Amino acid sequence: MRPEDMRISDADRAAVQERLRQAHEIGQLDLGEFDERVRSVWSARTRGELAGVTADLPAPPPVPGARLVFSDTGGGTTMRVLTIVWSSLAAVNLVVWGLIGLTTGNFVHPWWVWVAVPPGIALVVLYLAGIGRPPRDR
């Protein structure tokens, strides 16, 4: 049996209907044509009939993904690791400072800032200089 002669399921029909909805949203189909094609989708019985409904539509535009903070290069990996280490140390020092303040009832000068801010500034400067930053075209 040829693949285009195989029967389709409602899940297959729903996937093609979603593709048609996307095509309608971006202006590739008007409402009348969208309605006509959706009726054809739900009356289709084989993969060949289903493929014919979207055969003349161009590929959908790519869905924008999440923007990368760090690149996949060695510099990006290094910046990712350094940021995790810095965040962990800053969080631990903040918690220790808070626990000391809660147990003694005396919140002294926030010394944890001296542990967190200078390395944080160094990381920001490296990032702004382009170390580990992804390309702008993404």
State residue 64's pLDDT score: 74
Q: CA distances (Å), 115 to each of 69, 90, 97, 111, 125, in order?
A: 24, 7, 11, 7, 17
Entry pTM = 0.52
State residue 108's pLDDT score: 83
pLDDT, tens digit (0-9, with 9 covering 90-100), for 72-125: 889 999 999 999 999 999 999 999 999 999 999 888 889 989 989 999 999 999
Alpha-carbon radius of gyration of the chain: 28
DSSP assignment of 99-128, as one string? HHHHHHS-----THHHHHHHHHHHHHHHHH
State residue 137's pLDDT score: 63
Burial class (CB in 10 A: 0-12, 13-18, 19+), 29: buried
User: Which segments of 4-137 does DSSP mark as H helices, in order?
Assistant: 10-25, 31-43, 47-54, 74-104, 112-128
Confidence of residue 1 (pLDDT cuts 50, 70, 90): confident
Cα separation, 54 vs 39, whole angstroms: 13
pLDDT, tens digit (0-9, with 9 covering 90-100), for 61-76: 777 777 788 888 899 9
Indicate whether 4 pLDDT > 90: no
